């Protein structure tokens, strides 16, 4: 059964391009409630661990460099069927293939600098949320 929480990051490109406010507005307008949120800057160790599943992929090194290139916003979001609904809201990984009106279509600049992260399963949403937030930081 689908749970009602997902995890997101506003990535360094979108933060640097001034899109934090617009992206949060789109997320809230789509019916997500913010359960936890922080503005932080990943170290290489943090980013390497977060994207460990992609370790064997050719873009892993670049991805870790990119994710540490500037601050990010991390958040836990709540909505019915949150993981699937959020993936719909952000659009395809490659912004040139992301549907009109999706967050990546509007704010991403490339397949790597693609504005936001969204968990791909309930299990990963829980793991990723726990990576960033303690129980005391969720409301």
For residue 126, what are the CA distances in angstroms to 2, 13, 18? 12, 25, 28
Residues that bind ligand ATP (CB under 6 A): 54, 59, 63, 93, 111-112, 114, 117-118, 120
Q: How far apart are CA 25 and CA 43, in angstroms?
A: 27
Q: Which residue has the tokens 């040139």?
A: 96
- What number of residues does the chain have? 139
Indicate which residue of 19, 41, 54, 117 is catalytic: 117
Q: Does 19 qualify as catalytic in the annotation?
A: no
57/139 with CB nearer ligand ATP:
57
Do 77 and 34 contact (CB within 8 A), yes or no? yes
3-state secondary structure of 49: helix
93/134 with CB nearer Mg ion:
93
Per-residue binding string, Mg ion, 95-134, x by CB under 5 A, is: -------------------------x--------------
36/95 with CB nearer ligand ATP:
95
Residues near Mg ion, by CB under 5 A: 120
Q: Catalytic site residues?
A: 117
């Amino acid at each position: 059964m689908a749970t009602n929480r997902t995890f997101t990051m506003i990535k360094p490109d979108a933060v640097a391009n001034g899109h934090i406010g617009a992206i949060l507005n789109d997320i809230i307008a789509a019916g997500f409630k913010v359960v936890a949120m922080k503005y932080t800057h990943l170290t290489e160790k943090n980013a390497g661990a977060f994207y460990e599943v992609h370790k064997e992929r050719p873009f892993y090194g670049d991805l870790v460099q990119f994710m540490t290139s500037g601050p990010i916003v991390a958040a836990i979001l709540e909505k019915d069927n949150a993981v699937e609904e959020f993936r719909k809201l952000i659009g395809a990984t490659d912004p040139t293939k992301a549907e009109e009106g999706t967050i990546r279509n509007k704010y991403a600049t490339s397949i790597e600098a693609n504005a936001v992260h969204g968990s791909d399963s309930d299990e990963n949403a829980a793991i990723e949320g726990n990576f960033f937030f303690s129980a005391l930081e969720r409301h």
